[in-house]
Chains A and B, each alone.
Chain A
Amino acid sequence: MNGRLRVLPLLAIRNVRRQARRSLLTASAMALGVAVLVFSRTLADGGHEDWIESGVRLGSGHVAFQAPRFRATSNIEDRLTASAAATAQEALGVPGVAEHVRNVAPRLEVQGLANSPTAAVPVAIVGVNPDLEATFSELADRVVEGRYLQAGDRLHAYVGTRLADRLDLEVGSRLVLTAQDARDEIAGQFVRVVGIFRSGLPVADERLVHIPIGTAQSWLGVGADVTTVAVLLESGWVVPDVLQRLHDVLAGTSENLVVLGWQEAMPQLDAAIKVDDLGNYIFNFILYAIIILAIVNTVLMSVMYRTREFGLLRALGLTKRQTAALVFGEGVFLTAVSGVIGMVLGFGFTWVFFRNGLDFSFMLDNDFTFSGVVLEPVIVPAFRLVQVVRSLATIAFVGVLASLYPAYRATRIDLAEAMKFEA
């Protein structure tokens, strides 16, 4: 039954080819649109990956283990016991997680004051394992004076440029850190500046102090406890899966331990990305609207122009539905060809020219910070299979949508009128 209708696709393809010029025009409009879409999408994804990357490096990683109340209180009372931290480390070793883990950094974080003879500034003091932290936070790469912490350091501190200015510090200067310890008493710890960094992020440059974790633990009297086990994964894309796996693994634990994704740990960054995505979606929507109009226009024009031909097909015995199917097929075929060309062009263009990143630094005078994240001035596009699949699906959807109306119009023609010859 369907075999006999094989002539319709054949006709559709030949018709699109016959109107080569018009088809080509639509195809290029569409190809260009899709290329821009693909280009902007890969860049946006790439940009966001950077945002997340910078955010999680300075913050608590893609995922972080903490005591349940710590995020709300930031209080040393709500810390992880050494055995809870060990459970966290074990959880990171299970299949489905282990292969995605890049770095793990245990930290002991406390809010306190940094005092010099001249001033006192509220700071976030982070006790770190220097070796693990050096590759984690990248703060080590932001040294402007001295060096980052090293294994074996004891009474050393790594501070930001703004803090150094406010407390009038230089490498070798002494300062006193004070904070509430595990016994709820104010305790002081004397340290000496070993290095000064500049991250470009004002809050970090003024408020962040790294000291060796052993020093912090004995100063605050917490033994081997930590407040956070921060984890860096291979990329932001695997976070949902890893998080799910970790939730499952930790479901049965009796330890006072939760695992958070960066979205929970850094809600502002998450919101910023969502806002930016929304902007992109609006832009995409407009592009799709233009593409749809271009296709509707081409296909509709060809319907108007070919009333006689459709009249003829109907006279020859095609039903309304078959006539509509023919017009619909032409639209979908046109969309498919131009859409695929557009995708190849878009991905190809982005790959050839921007594979190594698009440098925006010429646009930026100073460090560019956004929602607490220092943005790299170079955006590397992210190529993802899901993006290709999504683009293909969207093209198919657009093709169907744009071909419906002309197909409907083709059924509305009056047969006798279509076949009339004016004398």
Chain B
Amino acid sequence: MTKQRMPAVKTADVWKVFEHDGLAVEAVRGVSLDIEPGEFVVLAGPSGSGKTTLLNLLGGLTRPTRGGVWIDGRDLTSMSERELAKLRLERVGFVFQAYNLLPVLTALENAEFSLLLRGIPPDERRRRVEELFAVIGMTGLEDRRPAKLSGGEQQRVAVARAVVGKPALVLADEPTANLDSAASDALLGVMADLNRERGTTFVFATHDTRLMERAKRLIRLVDGAIESDDVRQDMGG
């Protein structure tokens, strides 16, 4: 690599202040971080600590009150709504807590949705989704509608959709919050596998202490600010 490695996502003194009943709520307070391609970051913190708001800032769903956010070195704060939409389509994958899937599309159609919007030809879409489905253990469930899938299966489809377009980063906001521990472990396992095998960058917010233990890099948020940011030795496994 000749040029300097560029962070998948970077923030510099980013703030988000909400007006709430005339009071200013500082949801994110001066966060600066660099996340390199291929990292698997767990964003931990109690409820209300600003995890969701920070993820939304990273993914261009919310504009910062102050400070900057860059994906692939591109400044999100200077982008129009349209440019942000294109960036989300091509460079960011989201996995939310629940209701991630479009109810009228099948598992396969949901997973290939962003490829469809990007005009990828059907053969290639199908090939890429099938390949992923094999990795995440969804083979055979392609034609099911979300209502006919378990919570864990739905989240796995959401993960497949998030990673299938080879984004710069995947933002997962408490994706296991609605799952039992077996399904949570399985989902985390899937994400860890994808991170290891394909180098997909994950930023994963959770307040589940059990999941925090599996992080390679753990960022703790308290009251909207970073309390600690630890890169740990690979725990193996």
Binding site for B on A (CB under 8 A): 1, 3-5, 7, 11, 14-15, 17-18, 308-309, 312-320, 415-416, 419-421, 423
Chain A binding surface SS class:
helix
Report whether B119 and A3 are in contact in the complex, using a CB–CB cutoff of 8 Å.
Answer: yes
Separation of A7 and B104 alpha carbons in the complex (Å): 12
Report whether B85 and A317 are in contact in the complex, using a CB–CB cutoff of 8 Å.
Answer: yes
Separation of A309 and B113 alpha carbons in the complex (Å): 14
Separation of A18 and B103 alpha carbons in the complex (Å): 9
Q: Which residues of A contact B90 (CB under 8 A)?
A: 317
Residues facing A in B100-149 (CB within 8 A) are 100, 102-105, 113-114, 116-119
Known contacts A18-B104, A415-B62, A416-B56; A318/B85 CB under 8 A? yes
Separation of A7 and B56 alpha carbons in the complex (Å): 26
Known contacts A4-B117, A415-B61; A317/B86 CB under 8 A? yes
B52 interfacial contact with A, CB 8 Å:
yes
Q: Which residue of A lies closest to B207 (CB)?
A: A423
B210 interfacial contact with A, CB 8 Å:
no
In this complex, how many residues of chain B approach chain A with their Cβ under 8 Å: the count is: 35
Known contacts A1-B119, A4-B118, A423-B47; A316/B104 CB under 8 A? no
B88 interfacial contact with A, CB 8 Å:
yes
Report whether B99 and A308 are in contact in the complex, using a CB–CB cutoff of 8 Å.
Answer: yes
Separation of A7 and B86 alpha carbons in the complex (Å): 17
- In the assembled complex, 16 residue pairs joining A and B whose CB atoms fall closer than 8 Å, in A order, are A4-B116, A4-B117, A4-B119, A7-B113, A7-B117, A11-B102, A18-B103, A309-B102, A316-B94, A317-B86, A320-B85, A415-B62, A419-B96, A421-B96, A423-B47, A423-B48
B33 interfacial contact with A, CB 8 Å:
no
Separation of A184 and B59 alpha carbons in the complex (Å): 100
B117: contacting residue among A18, A317, A420, CB under 8 A: A317
Known contacts A14-B104, A319-B81; A419/B117 CB under 8 A? no
B98: contacting residue among A316, A319, A320, A421, CB under 8 A: A421
Q: Shortest beta-carbon distance, A342 to chain B, in Å?
A: 25
Separation of A308 and B97 alpha carbons in the complex (Å): 12
Most buried by B among A1, A5, A317: A317
Report whether B97 and A421 are in contact in the complex, using a CB–CB cutoff of 8 Å.
Answer: yes
Report whether B62 and A312 are in contact in the complex, using a CB–CB cutoff of 8 Å.
Answer: no
Report whether B61 and A416 are in contact in the complex, using a CB–CB cutoff of 8 Å.
Answer: yes
B53 interfacial contact with A, CB 8 Å:
yes
Q: Which residues of A contact B87 (CB under 8 A)?
A: 317
